Amino acid sequence: RKEVEQDPGPFNVPEGATVAFNCTYSNSASQSFFWYRQDCRKEPKLLMSVYSSGNEDGSFTAQLNRASQYISLLIRDSKLSDSATYLCVVNKGSYIPTFGRGTSLIVHP
């Protein structure tokens, strides 16, 4: 079993739609969680950290469920510019970011 698992998609949604991605992780001792965004042929960039109490950043909401070992990302009112690959990241131990394979999102007009 992979350490971090994501549905690769693609998720193909119209502008304005709400879309949610889930990610599961295998190491119950993991302490730090993130979502990164990666555009085509570009490097990954931090989208947001994920906190135990859940957190929002604009139209993005991240949730962590430690008991079930999954992380979610909700995107509301999706925009064309949200089209990208979203990478779930869990820190191995406390310091090595471990990436899922990414979920591809395509937002169309």
Partner 1 sequence: GAGVSQTPSNKVTEKGKYVELRCDPISGHTALYWYRQSLGQGPEFLIYFQGTGAADDSGLPNDRFFAVRPEGSVSTLKIQRTERGDSAVYLCASSLTGEGAGNTEAFFGQGTRLTVV
The binding site for partner 1 (CB under 8 A) comprises 4, 6, 8, 31-32, 34, 42-46, 49, 51, 87, 92-102
- Chain position carrying tokens 């490097």: 43
Of 55 and 72, which CB lies nearer to partner 1 in the complex structure? 55
How far apart (Å, rounded) are the C-alpha atoms in residues 87 and 75? 14
For residues 23 and 70, is the Cβ–Cβ distance under 8 A?
A: yes
Of 95 and 109, which CB lies nearer to partner 1 in the complex structure? 95
Measured from the CB of residue 109, what is the shortest distance to partner 1 in angstroms? 25
